[in-house]
Structure 1
Amino acid sequence: MGRTRRRHYRRYRADQRALRDHVRRWWPFVAGALAANGLLVATYLWAPREPAAGAVPAPDPAAARRAAPAERPMSTFTTRFDRGEPRVRNIEIAARRLDGTVVRPGATFSFNDVVGPRTRDRGYVPAPVIMGPRLVKDIGGGICQVSSTLYNAVFRAGLDIEKARAHTMWMPEYPDGREAAVAYPDLDFRWRNDTDGPVRIDVQYTDSSLTVSLWGERRYEVRSETSERYDYTPYWTTVGSGTRCVPTNGRKGFEIDVWRVLLEDGRKVKRERYHTEYQPQPKITCV
């Protein structure tokens, strides 16, 4: 038994020496093979692959931004009003209809076409509107705040104003001579996108303010001038009655001129004059 055990021990030691010799001889080849396999696996996992038949490649956000039309802030304008007035509801309805409108290059925007009729079944309520030289209550009163805020954004953006008329009476919410009265369907505010790209209208409102911003590619730099008020006319005093009567304090009428200068690369391209004659607003007592 002792001789047999020694013989097995000598054979075990010989096998261990042979194994160590094999490891020392072949280990560099094994390590190289493992490294090569690891590199191949990494290359497979990270290399771009063609989508399978019928598959839709995942969108590339950067490429999508490059492909989208250029959109930059062109202009913005804010007007304000008193909280809680009936016309606030009308302003909000028209603002929602206007928000997000996109005007293509060369296309003409029509306020009445976009906002549509101002009727009770569309949510509009009675509020003061200007009719001739006085204020009366009518469905959709206050809509002109939306058209006039848009007008001033268009004015600042240097876009082509095709059709716009100021109110017959001066209103403190807007800059002198820079406003657009509207009444569906005849009295409209129209402007043309004379740039090379689309123009998007963004409208934000609170319970006391309205902001219109235009996004697109500006073509012109805009400068403006406003004259002093001149040729004042006095107001008169009268009495009104009925549910449509709106009491007013009375204001003088006057005339004013506004000029818009359009510049391209620092060179004057056009100088436009806008003349407005405001009628006096009578002092009215409702009985």
Structure 2
Amino acid sequence: MNKARKGPAFLVIFLMLLLIVAYIYAAYQTVKPARGLICNGVFVETVNVGGMSEDEARTAVAQYRDEYLQRTVEVDVNGKTVSATLEQLGYNCEVGDVIAKAMQVGKDGNPFTNYAKIREIATTPLVYKLKYDAKEKKIRTFVNKKCKKKCAKAKNAKVKRENGTFVYTDAKEGSTIDVDSTAAQIKKAVEQAKSGDAIRVKADVTIQEPTVTKDLASRCKDKIGSFQTNFNAGNVSRSKNLSNAARLINDHVIYPGETFSVHDTISPLTEENGYYAAPSYSNGEVVDSIGGGVCQVSTTLYNAVLKAELEVVERSPHSMVVSYVKPSMDAAIAGDYKDFKFRNDTEVPIYIEGGVYSGTIYFNIYGEETRSDDREVTFESETTQTMQPGADKITYDKTKPASYTKVTQEAHVGYKAVLWKIVKENGKTKKTQINSSTYQAVPRYVTKGAAEGTPAASAKPQTTKKATKEPKATAKPKKTAKPKATVKPQETAVPAAAEPTTEAQ
């Protein structure tokens, strides 16, 4: 009876062992060929890398990546399309890590678990995704340089004066692009894009309205300030400099709140920009320099601005008095050291008209006249102190005989002066100080002969008896209208003797 029972039990055990051995053998046979290859059923994105060696898989996936990086991102900016490939946007992907992971499938456990994994992916593929890294700086650069070009700035209505008549053009709205927001949208769209889908983004754009409409611009029609000064037309080079600088300033429009700089407008003072060598002030001497004379341009404009009662931002006197206006009525230009600036503190555009004719330079300023008819504005120069030039400054020339004497530069009397603004309105008079200016006294420059190398005893410097007189104004003040805010007076010191800047006189 026991023997009969043992027979079937032994058979069952034998069969079970046989099945186990068969399973182990099958697992071994399945796993063995995959040891140097990637298991079947493994994908990287859409690339079937099953059965490939590591090098083969790396090549196949790299090719897929390179093709993917040529996908185009399209950005809609104001209805216009701007495109760039993912590669151009700085996207990239290293395939080494994902290939290493694919190689380990079915190899990192015992034969039984590896066998189970291999059987599983044979029916349910294992797909690895590539991770693309973006260089945000490149995306921002693309938006800032390429997309931004499709956004035009708002254009204010323009003011032109043709044949004595004003012409006004229409304003145009513009737009601005939010670089950060648009770059973030591009990055998000790329991350969410599926294979084969177009990658499209709508830029984050804000409409920009012009600040000056045609209706506002058309209010610039009244002459609110005017001034002119005279010059010697016989000095051809200086005359050309005045004409050139006036031309560069003419036809300028200053919109509300904007500041106008004479230096920035007429520079550079070079031959290439139409200037010639002409007399200028430099360290107490009169010397020739390119652009000499343009200070008369800024001075004439300064007085027109005063009559228009606009806000003066920056103004400096010359180091010595000039002949074309009274003291304190000038405005010097010298490199980036001295400039004349004024601001349009009205509600409408300001138009500058200027030019030269028959030895006269003029500027007319147009805007909107808001001042009352009974308002009368004049400006008065008051000399508060006179400083005599002192002894001659003598230079000896050994190539000239002892009897030789030549005055190379006349003396200049020094002054301290104040400019007053006098307003008469509604039966009342108000006097306000506009500026305080100081002009240095400069001695006469004399060259004497000293052929024998020793100055004659009689060559002792003498005090100059006659010097340049205080200049007279060349233009009679005219009636103007209602002021805006009164310009705060500024004290201007005498320029240092070693000042390296040349004033264009």
Give your verdict on TM over 0.5. Answer: yes
State whether residues 235 and 251 of structure 1, in contact with CA within 8 Å, keep that contact through their aligned partners in structure 2.
no
- Per the alignment, residue 173 of structure 1 pairs with 324
Does residue 281 of structure 1 match 2:442? yes
Unaligned runs of 5+ residues in structure 2 are 1-164, 170-213, 398-406, 449-505
Cα distance in 1 for residues equivalent to 2:292 and 2:390: 23
Q: Which among 327, 340, 348 is matched to residue 197 of structure 1?
A: 348
Label 1:270 to 1:257 Cα distance change in 2 as closer, same or farther (>3 A).
closer
Contact 1:117 1:184 in 2 (8 A): no
CA distance in 2: counterparts of 1:100 and 1:227, whole angstroms:
34
Which residue of structure 1 aligns with residue 228 of structure 2? Answer: 78
Q: Partner of 2:136 in structure 1?
A: none
Residue aligning to 1:163: 314
TM-score by length of 1: 0.69
Residue deviations 1:131-180 (CA, integer Å, cap 9, x gap):
12221111110010100000010111111111000101011111221111
CA offsets per residue over residues 103-137 of structure 1, 9 Å max, x none? 11111111112112101111211111111222111
Q: Does 1:183 align with 2:334?
A: yes
2:444, 2:412 → 1: CA distance? 8
Aligned 1:131-170 pairs, distance under 5 A: 131-170=282-321
Number of residue-to-residue matches in the alignment: 223
In structure 1, the partner of 2:361 is: 210
Aligned partners of 1:88 and 1:207 also within 8 Å: no
Deviations 1:209-243 (A, max 9, x none): 1011111124555343332442423344224699x
- The residue type paired with residue 197 of structure 1 is V
Deviates more, 1:151-160 or 1:223-232: 223-232
Distance 1:215 1:74 in 2: 6
Which residue is equivalent to 2:239?
A: 88
How much has 1:266 moved relative to structure 2?
Answer: 7.7
Answer yes or no: is 1:258 the counterpart of 2:419.
yes
Structure 2 residue 387 is the aligned partner of structure 1 residue 232: yes
Are the structure 2 counterparts of residues 261 and 160 from structure 1 closer, same or farther at C-alpha, using a change threshold of 3 Å?
farther
Within 1, Cα distance between the matches of 2:261 and 2:430? 25
Aligned to 2:408: 247
Structure with max Cα Rg: 2
Greater alpha carbon shift after TM alignment, 195-204 vs 229-238: 229-238
Residue 121 (structure 1) aligned to one of 256, 260, 272: 272
- Partner residue of 1:69 out of 191, 209, 219: 219
Paired AA for residue 72 in structure 1: D
Hey, what's the Cα distance between the residues in 2 that align with 1:285 and 1:123? 34
Check conservation: 1:157, 1:218, Cα contact below 8 A: no
Structure 1 letter corresponding to 2:283: G
Higher relative contact order (CA 8 A, sep 6+): 1
Gaps of 5+ in 1: 1-60
- The verdict on how the C-alpha distance between 1:82 and 1:225 changes in structure 2, with shifts beyond 3 A counting, is closer
Name the structure where strand makes up a greater proportion of residues.
1
Q: Percent of aligned pairs with the same residue?
A: 30
Partner deviation per Cα, 1:163-211 (whole Å, 9 max, x = no partner):
0001010111112211110023332111111111111111121241101
TM-score, length-normalised on structure 2? Answer: 0.40
- 3-state SS, counterpart of residue 281 of structure 2: strand
Which letter does structure 1 place at the counterpart of 2:319?
A: T
C-alpha distance in 1, partners of 2:295/2:396? 25
* 1:133–1:169 contact (8 Å) kept in structure 2: yes
